[in-house]
Structure 1
């Protein structure tokens, strides 16, 4: 079974309860990955890897809902964001990235739903392009709210993360494509 049919398969095999479980599981995976982080004020973490994997695995709608659940968990005070942060992070220097994760998961899921995540190279290219798009909301927040300049944004919010984001995009594609291939072999 291919990735792009995930939402249809979930609807047939358990409906809303199963979908809710997958959304919760996706949010918990992102929360766990966020705790593997270094740096401040913009930590380098495994959140983007987890968001890409969740989006490509669950599809556009459920992937985005998993990130919304993750944000809601943080808003309720749970320490799910990088460095054990909770609600204050939703107004801090990384808020643009946190809210941008919803779009990131949706686009990764959309790529999977369209069949672009079936093979490693197209999946990795899609994941890398989507990772670059995350810098839009991620950089807009500190520019608009904190008054950061372009050199500050480049030096503190973007340049240090580009190589890591490229590596995480390839890893996400490998995880999803490998997992899909393994499930296909196990099923038949």
Structure 2
């Protein structure tokens, strides 16, 4: 008996089955996703080298709702917009634009967001987005990896002690709350939808 390894993520309910319309819908969703990421990045509390924003929550929700392919594509489109100089990141334009900004203090976190989207999107494609415990586990793994990437990058710029003090510790509680919220919201949406055969 074969076991299915993929299920359809939440956004698949809104996608046409095939063709140009499906591609156009996916492109539209990716653009909307980058707008959500931009707004979430600009919703921030200034703390120092790296500020607290709602962006982690946005990345988790996009990845869980979009799945691996569309989730990662959305994050890569967002990174491309930033690399081209659009002020989509948290500290833009006041702290620079484009590649120069991306190589600054938040560079590791930005790369970590793509990895985070891949992990959570992979889990969603396997139906973990319907189970809050499984989704929480995937999101915690994604969070730890994203923070580790951000810490490693920041440590190269300001040293490990300051990177831990300013780039990790202030975010632990807030990010855990965001992970718990995202891991609850997506399964809750699934539970409200009519059961499909």
TM-score of the aligned structures, taking structure 2 as reference length? 0.84
Which position in structure 1 is the counterpart of 2:22?
Answer: 15
Number of residues of Structure 1 aligned to a counterpart in Structure 2:
183
Compute the displacement of 1:186 (Å).
Answer: 9.4
Bigger drift between 90-99 and 113-122 goes to 113-122
How far residue 175 of structure 1 moved from its aligned partner, in angstroms, is 2.2
Q: How many angstroms apart in 2 are the aligned matches of 1:31 and 1:186?
A: 34
Q: Which has the larger radius of gyration?
A: 2
Greater share of helix residues, 1 or 2? 1
1:38 corresponds to which residue?
Answer: 45
2:32 is the counterpart of 1:25: yes
Decide whether the 8 Å contact of 1:37 with 1:83 is kept in 2: no
What is the CA–CA distance in structure 1 between the aligned matches of 2:16 and 2:119, rounded to whole Å? 21
Question: CA offset at residue 11 of structure 1?
Answer: 6.0
Residue 161 of structure 1: aligned partner: 171
Alignment RMSD: 2.3
Change (3 A) 1:84 1:178: farther
Aligned to 1:66: 74
Distance 1:47 1:66 in 2: 13
Q: How does 1:1-188 map to 2 (within 5 A)?
A: 4-6=7-9, 10=15, 12=17, 14-39=21-46, 40-85=48-93, 86-87=97-98, 88-144=100-156, 146=157, 148-182=158-192, 184-185=193-194
Shift of 1:8: 6.2
Which runs of 5 or more residues in structure 1 are unaligned? none
5+ residue gaps in structure 2? 1-5
CA-CA distance at 1:187 after TM superposition: 8.2
Aligned with 1:19: secondary structure?
A: helix
Distance in 1 (alpha carbons) for counterparts of 2:195 and 2:29: 20
